Every structure is written in structure tokens, then in C-alpha cells.
A and B are shown apart, each in its own frame.
Chain A
């Protein structure tokens, strides 16, 4: 197994902010003018991880967990209170400009493109800014146009683009200078399923063909399922999990789900009284059953269900990742309390 080099390395990254406290009432507001009290908030607490070249890593956590703050430190926007990081060999906050040449960033909620210009002009401006040679630019431009289907709206001002179009435009912009590292902060937020799928497919293919390292923060766990083998979970500024997605699943979710299709609608009245299996949903002949895998195996549950009718078809579902993650958060809250 070849040793893949580490391309992003965070070591005890810490960021504390000074949050002004809002005082209540008029008297409080006046007092606040003179004595600006505040508390120190630790947004990111000793975060450490190593990401190898070519990995796609999901970086997830509840709102306010410290995801965006971590990304800002790794891109050079924020200077950490403590800790180190090396991205592509550069210390982001000390070598911001050099690093910028080697990273591509997509902020899902903010565009990198110029609002009043047509998409194609934004890309041209970025070409100058990143000093992309003419032939390389042409190549990347054409490839992005084709893969992301930008042709229909290349000449439309960015402010007139739909969210999905703008996101594709942002992706094209981020990759124009062939960065080996891509940061994606909520790249599919607000998009419909078709648009999301298209972007996920694009990213998967990009990683497969060019080996671009991707660090992805998202609230959409379907993004994670599609793209990431490894996820890092952050909560309240601390990493609560860093590892294989599959391992996380099997480690946490005890519940699995079995969907059984009967020939005819079965009578499940006494099945509902069983404690080891749980009828989650019934839609005519289709029955969803949840069970604790520690108690039963899937074939056992199938056998149990077989007593209620002729089973025509069945599917087993892995535990929903939402459930896995919420268990993870619950566990971490318990430990912090």
C-alpha cells in the first residue's frame, strides 16, 4: 500500500473570540457604552487532523460547532489563537497569498463571482488574478463548461443566475487554476435534488480523475454518503469523531431497517405487540420494520415477518446517517456535561 502524503495537517488549532455581552434594558445599554464587558468564547478547541492527498473528507457538525471557523483558519482568512497548520506545505495565515494560488474555495452561501458581470467575464478576471496561462485557461474553461453544463448561461450576469447555476459557476471558478486542494463550505445548500446530484457526481468524478483533495463541510448528510469515505465530526469546537463512515455506522446505530413487500396486505395486529421489532410504517402490502441488530439478524426478522404472509420482496437499509450523527452529538453532549 503506497504511503499517501499528508497535504492538510492541523495541529491543536484553537480559536477564541471575545464576545461582547448584550446588556438588557435601557440602563444596561447605557452602561454597555462605558463598560463593554464580554466573555471569551472558544469556537475551535485543539482541533487536530491529517488529510492525505486525494481524500474526500466530510467535516460536519451542528450549527455553531466551529466548522466554518476551522475552514477559515485553514484558508488563511483567520489567524488562530493557538496551534499550527500546514496546507500544501504553507502555513495558511502566514503565507496567505502563496497558499491562495493552491487552493480553491467555494462558500455555498456567498459567491466568489462578481455580481454584476457575466459568468464568463468573472472567469476571465480570475484568470488574470491567478495568473493562469492562456492555454491552460482555455482547457479548463472548456472542460468546466462541458462538465458543469455552463454553456446556456455563460453570458448571463451572475446576479440573474439561479442558485444551482451560480453554484456551478463558483465551482468552475474555484478550479480554474488547478488547485490541488478544494474547500467546499455547504456547496449544495438550497439546491434541489437534481442540482445536488449533479454537483456530487461532478465532485466524485473530479476527485477520481485528478486526485483533487476535497474538504467538505455540509449539513446535507446525503452529500457525505455520496462522496466521503471519511468524516470528521466537530461539536462545540472539539472533534468527536474522525474516521471511516462505515465504521461509524456499525459502531453506533444499533437499529437497522427492513422493508418487506408482501403479496397481500398482512394483518400485523399482534406483530405490533412484539418488543424486539418495531413496525415503523405500513403502506398496504409494504411494511417497514426496525429492529435492534444486537438482538436479531436480518434473516431472523425476515423469518418472523414471513409468518404474517407471503413475502415477495425485501430490502435492508443501513442506519440513516442522520441517526448516527444525532447519536454522536448526544453522546458528546453527555461527555461534556
Chain B
């Protein structure tokens, strides 16, 4: 499709567009702050649930409360980043349904990047902030030793995880090129995947584990890297390098989804809306 050089140029322009739109949004300060606050409150309930869970159980599959908080934080951060980046892409099904997608193809920019900045919103800042908070609390309270290497890899993992969630949201958009109604099933992987990633995977049944490790590799973004971060053994007996699969899994997944998008656009351009 588009060369890498074009992509870089597109992303630069997209960045400027996103900045412009955000600037406009922040003008509505009260609405902006309310959104963030509201988001924060809603997600706080989850933490309460978690806390109350641990009042009844000593640990979760060998994981302490603090360690699970760490997982929660990590998963939330990845999810909110991935969701934010694909705000516009998630609106593509609506564009197609209303017949407004054509204008995307008339402009001198990659259709995907255009879609990304079609809608720019910071409504998940609350979730992101909360996730970071939990992550920090987790990091501060767990027993494991924290090194520079771990911090560096943490950033890699967060980016990988965000990319995975971004790709999952993109899948929903891709499917909308073929179906009229939205595919709610994809939510099972995006929101569901995010939920699942907040808990140590080995407590789940084999089917779920396989699904969220090898089909939608959420497990390689949250659980496995955390084995490394928290110095925990692997009860599933996977190869030793498994905690470091995150960026590779993300790359592969994103390439596949990227191809899917190209295919979807080609389909759209040969069959019309």
C-alpha cells in the first residue's frame, strides 16, 4: 500500500491535526474535566471489587494483592492507550454506514491514519491515570527488586500492549466493511481481554488461557512480562524467553491486522459502499 516514508509523513501531519483538535477540546474545560473525573469514578468501583475480593482470599493463585494490583495497573495503562489511539478508527463503522467514508479516499493521506485522527478525545485519561497509579502502587509494594532493565522493558511492554489493543479495535473497524451491524463479539476480545489481563492467567481454564495467549496474545503483554518484573516462576512451563515475547507478539499481530485493513480497503474500492 503506502510506503514507509509516506507513513512517516502522514503520522507527522496526523500529529498536528490531533494537537489542533485536542486544543479545541480543552477549551471546553469544564466538560473536559468532568469527562476525566467521571471516568475515574467509574473505574474506581473496579478497584473496590478487587479489594473486597482479597478480603476473602489470601492470594490469587499464588499472587498477592499488591501483585494483582500491579497487573491491573499494567493492563489498564495498555488498554487506555490503545483505546485512545484508535478513537477515530472505532468511528469508521459509523462513517461507512452513513456513506461518509468516501471522503477519506479523496484525501492525500493514508486512510488508516486519517481515520485515527477523525476523532480525538482524551476521555480515557482517567483510566490511564488510574492505571499508572495502580502500577506505581504495585511497583512500590511488591517484594521484587526493581532494576533499570525492568523499567526499560516495562516501557516496551506498555507500547506493545497498547499496540495489541489498538489492533483489536481496528479489527472491529475492518469487519464493518463487510457487515452492516457492528460485531459485538470483538468486544469480548478488547474489553474482555483487558479484564482478563488484569488477573494472573494461570488461574483460568485451559481454553481461556490458550485463547488469550495464542490467538489474542494479551497474556504475553501483561502476565508473562510480569513474571519477569515480579520475579515469579512460571506455573505453565513455557520457555524461558516467554516474558520477552511481548514486542514480537505485538509486531506480528499488528502486521496481520495491517494487512487486514489493506484488504478491507481494497474490497471497499472494488465493490463500492
Binding site for B on A (CB under 8 A): 17-18, 69, 72, 75-79, 93, 96-98, 100-101, 103, 105, 107, 110-112, 114, 117-118, 121, 124-125, 128-131
Contacts and interface: CB of A to CB of B under 8 A. Distances in A.
Interface stretch (B78-86, B105-113, B186-194): B105-113
A128 B9 CA distance: 11
B102 A110 contact: yes
Interface residues of B, number: 25
Nearest to A100: B108
Q: Indicate the member of A17, A75, A129 with the most B CB atoms within 10 Å.
A: A129
8 contacts: A72-B102, A97-B108, A100-B108, A105-B103, A110-B99, A129-B17, A129-B109, A130-B108
Given A117-B21, A128-B16, A129-B17, A79 B103 contact: no
4 closest A-B pairs by beta carbon, nearest first, are A100-B108, A101-B108, A77-B105, A105-B106
A107 B108 contact: no
Contacts of A112: 103, 106
Contacts of A105: 103, 106
B13 interface: yes
Interface of A (DSSP majority class): mixed
B13 A72 contact: no
Contacts of A118: 24
Q: Which of B102, B106, B109 has the largest count of A CB atoms less than 10 A from its CB?
A: B106
Contacts of B52: none
Interface in B80-128: 99-100, 102-103, 105-110, 114, 118
A128 B106 CA distance: 15
A79 B265 CA distance: 11
Nearest to B12: A128
A17 B17 contact: no
B269 A129 contact: no
A129 B13 contact: yes
Contacts of A100: 106-109
Given A77-B105, A78-B269, 18 more contacts: A17-B271, A17-B272, A18-B271, A72-B272, A78-B272, A79-B266, A79-B270, A100-B109, A101-B108, A105-B103, A110-B103, A111-B103, A117-B24, A121-B24, A125-B21, A128-B13, A128-B20, A131-B13
A186 B256 CA distance: 40
A50 B20 CA distance: 41
Contacts of B108: 97-98, 100-101, 129-131
Interface string B9-45: 0000100110011001000000000000000000000
A13 to B, nearest CB: 14
Contacts of B100: 110
A130 B100 CA distance: 19
B55 to A, nearest CB: 45
A69 B102 contact: no
Given A18-B271, A72-B272, A97-B2, A129 B24 contact: no
Contacts of A79: 266, 269-270
A273 B16 CA distance: 75
Contacts of B46: none
Contacts of A96: 105
A93 B269 contact: yes
B231 interface: no
Nearest to B271: A17
Nearest to B108: A100
B13 to A, nearest CB: 5
Contact of B106 (A75, A117, A131): A75
Most B-side CB within 10 Å, residue of A78, A93, A105, A131: A78
